[in-house]
């Protein structure tokens, strides 16, 4: 009996030793491979599956999409992946040379979760490439013998060069694999094309997410800034052009009381609680996570350090201004001034904006007055930066600062020929009409988010509306904005009936900016 136990024990030890040795060997080879291949890049093509395929493609800012159907066990697919990635890096991700043109994705048909999806698109071989508008992928399927289908197979894309040549033929473009970021001839000029603004909604989402990331990264939430942040979030929930951002901000506000209690700064555990609040907030996505972010479309500069976030933030503020009601104008003015003063980390810009806010001597009673004030402020900023950039040669050569809108965009906005930027006889009624149309209906005309919200308590405004009426959204903080706005009052009332009895009083005195 003892000998039998001995042999069993010896056999077990041998198996364990072999397993450890095998694991060590694999790990060593893996480490060596990483050392020998330091330039490994993360995938640019977006992996989709049956659960997110429709929503991601429906929300895509790109004009076209390519879907690669493959199987991870297929040797030809593994060999093709580097070729596909070369092209994907031109169009996808934060380092994309040509963002917003083609969204390149892949679906692994060897995964059971994707069986129905691959059947839906009649996948008969690997790899198989399909091309078409993103919305067409999200709204149906594909059959090989279908006529007049906007989705078509790519029959000549076996190498990166051949795939890119196929794309160029479809688009009438001349993209190259060695194109460099921001230094190419294909940059779309949007200064005189009113149709370009429709794609700015994706940059507004990017700017909103970037602002939220900056707030968390710089630990800017404190007893002083807590209420201004809540007020700005309430503004976004009611009037942000993007449904994704409205829903994402509402999710943050629902949980804000628990993450950042109002008495957190009076506790002995303040530092720990603040740290935990920051960590917890990082798990939230203020504009959702359906569409990969990392590049600018409308706000993309011709140089890496121009436009981008600052442009996106201005477009966000203008789009908010044209969506409010008359009774909200003064409250929104104060909320935006508070937000810039507390959370915009460019010190000189922040102080300059503060001075312009402080110079306002009477409250805004009409949406028109606030819209025109923000427009005038933006032009004053441009005038100041024009001089600085001209002397320091730091401006964007393809997108120089100018007084806006130019004659090409709004011929009726000025009454007489423009002699110089400081002597323009503006027709402010026409300017107001233009701003409402440009940042309201035109900006949203092609942005239709048809996803249904899972939380049926959240009832958000229609994206095609220029302004927002009464909205019902559960919020995690409320009373301040409600003092000056019936729309925000509806938000506050709903929250007070659903959440704990916490109240935050904020009368919005400008002196507290």
* 77 part of the active site: yes
**Comparing 46-171 with 196-262+277-438, is the CATH topology the same?**
no
C-alpha–C-alpha distance, residues 78 and 221, integer Å: 47
pLDDT greater than 90 at residue 159: yes
Tens digits of residue pLDDT in 330-360: 999 999 999 999 999 888 888 999 999 999 9
C-alpha–C-alpha distance, residues 119 and 394, integer Å: 54
Residues 243-254, mean pLDDT to the nearest whole number: 91
Q: Are strands 152-153 and 102-108 parallel, antiparallel or unpaired?
A: unpaired
268: its two tokens: 């002995």
Q: Is 105 within 8 Å of 130 (Cβ atoms)?
A: no
C-alpha–C-alpha distance, residues 73 and 81, integer Å: 12
Residue 13's pLDDT is what?
Answer: 40
- Name the packing angle between helices 367-392 and 347-358 (round to 10°): 140
Asked if CATH classification 3.90.1150.110 holds for the domain at 196-262+277-438, the reply, yes or no, is: no
Q: Are strands 64-70 and 128-132 parallel, antiparallel or unpaired?
A: antiparallel
Residue 195 binned pLDDT confidence (cut-offs 50, 70, 90): low
Tens digits of residue pLDDT in 24-49: 333 333 333 333 343 456 788 999 99
Q: Is 463 within 8 Å of 247 (Cβ atoms)?
A: no
Range list of H helices, 241-308: 243-259, 270-281
Which one of 12-21, 86-95, 303-312 scores highest in mean pLDDT?
Answer: 86-95
**Roughly how many angstroms between the first and final C-alpha of the chain, as a whole number?**
86
C-alpha–C-alpha distance, residues 56 and 290, integer Å: 5
Handedness of CA 408, 413, 419, 421 (dihedral sign): negative
C-alpha–C-alpha distance, residues 154 and 158, integer Å: 9
Handedness of CA 89, 90, 95, 100 (dihedral sign): negative
390: its two tokens: 């001209």
C-alpha–C-alpha distance, residues 199 and 297, integer Å: 7
Give me the percent of the chain exceeding a pLDDT of 70. Answer: 68
What are the residue boundaries of the structural domains of the chain, listed by start? 46-171, 196-262+277-438
Tens digits of residue pLDDT in 210-219: 999 889 888 8
Phi-psi region of 133 (alpha: psi -120 to 50; beta: other; left: phi over 0): beta
Catalytic residue among 77, 299, 311, 413: 77
Q: Is 309 within 8 Å of 63 (Cβ atoms)?
A: no
- What is the rounded (10 degree) CA torsion for 425, 429, 435, 438? -100
CA distances from 119 to 107, 115, 130, 134, 405 (A): 12, 6, 14, 18, 51
Q: What is the DSSP secondary-structure string of 27-68?
A: HHHHHHHHHH-TT-----SEEE-TTTHHHHHHT---SEEEEE
pLDDT greater than 70 at residue 171: yes
Handedness of CA 375, 377, 380, 382 (dihedral sign): negative
Which residue has tokens 């958000």? 460
Handedness of CA 388, 392, 394, 399 (dihedral sign): positive
pLDDT greater than 90 at residue 164: yes
Residues 419-428, mean pLDDT to the nearest whole number: 76
109: its two tokens: 């048909």
The least confident of 28-42, 250-264, 393-407, 456-470 is 456-470
Asked if CATH classification 3.40.30.10 holds for the domain at 46-171, the reply, yes or no, is: yes
CA distances from 56 to 184, 320, 340 (A): 28, 25, 32
Residue 147 binned pLDDT confidence (cut-offs 50, 70, 90): low
Predicted TM-score (pTM) of the model is 0.65
pLDDT greater than 50 at residue 472: no
Give me the percent of the chain exceeding a pLDDT of 90. Answer: 38
- Strand-pairing partners, residue 46, are 105
């Amino acid at each position: 009996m003892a000998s039998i136990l001995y042999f069993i024990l010896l056999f077990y030890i041998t198996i364990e030793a072999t397993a450890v040795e095998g694991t060590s060997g694999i790990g060593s080879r893996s480490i060596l491979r990483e050392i020998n291949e330091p330039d490994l890049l993360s995938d640019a093509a977006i992996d989709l599956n049956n659960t997110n395929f429709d929503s991601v493609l429906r929300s895509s800012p790109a004009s076209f999409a390519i879907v690669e159907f493959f199987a991870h066990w297929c040797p030809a697919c593994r060999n093709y992946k580097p070729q596909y990635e070369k092209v994907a890096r031109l169009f996808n991700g934060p380092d994309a040379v040509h963002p917003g043109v083609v969204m390149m994705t892949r679906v692994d048909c060897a995964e059971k979760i994707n069986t129905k999806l691959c059947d839906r698109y009649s996948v008969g071989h690997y790899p198989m490439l399909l091309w078409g508008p993103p919305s067409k992928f999200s709204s149906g399927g594909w059959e090989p013998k279908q006529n007049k289908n906007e989705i078509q197979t790519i029959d000549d894309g076996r190498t990166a060069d051949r795939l890119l040549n196929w794309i160029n033929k479809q688009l009438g473009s001349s993209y190259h694999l060695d194109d460099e970021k921001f230094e190419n001839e294909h940059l779309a000029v949007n200064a005189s094309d009113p149709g370009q603004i429709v794609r700015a909604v994706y940059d507004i989402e990017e700017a909103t997410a970037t602002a939220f990331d900056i707030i968390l990264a710089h630990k800017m939430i404190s007893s002083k800034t807590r209420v201004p942040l809540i007020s700005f979030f309430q503004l976004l929930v009611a009037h942000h052009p993007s449904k994704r951002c409205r829903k994402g901000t509402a999710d943050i506000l629902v949980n804000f009381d628990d993450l950042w209690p109002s008495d957190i700064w009076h506790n002995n555990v303040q530092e720990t609680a603040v740290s935990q609040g920051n960590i917890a907030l990082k798990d939230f996505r203020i504009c959702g996570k359906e569409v990969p972010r990392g590049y600018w479309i409308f706000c993309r500069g011709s140089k890496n350090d121009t436009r981008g976030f600052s442009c996106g933030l201005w477009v966000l503020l203008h789009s908010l201004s044209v969506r409010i009601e008359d009774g909200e104008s003064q409250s929104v003015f104060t909320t935006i001034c508070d937000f810039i003063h507390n959370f915009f980390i460019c010190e000189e810009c922040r102080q300059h904006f503060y001075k312009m806010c402080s110079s306002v001597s009477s409250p805004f009673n009409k949406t028109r007055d606030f819209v025109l004030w923000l427009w005038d402020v933006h032009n004053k900023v441009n005038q100041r930066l024009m001089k600085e950039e001209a002397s320091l040669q730091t401006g964007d050569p393809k997108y120089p600062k100018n007084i806006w809108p130019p004659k090409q965009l709004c011929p009726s906005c000025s009454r007489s020929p423009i002699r110089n930027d400081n002597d323009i006889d503006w027709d402010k009624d026409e300017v107001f009409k233009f701003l409402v149309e440009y940042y309201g209906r035109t900006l949203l005309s092609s942005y239709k988010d048809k996803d249904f919200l899972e939380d049926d308590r959240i009832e958000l405004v229609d994206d095609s509306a220029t302004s927002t009426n009464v909205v019902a959204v559960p919020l995690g903080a409320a009373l301040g904005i409600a003092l000056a706005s019936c729309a925000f009052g509806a938000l506050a009332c709903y929250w007070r009936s659903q959440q704990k009895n916490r109240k935050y009083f904020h009368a919005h005195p400008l002196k507290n900016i």
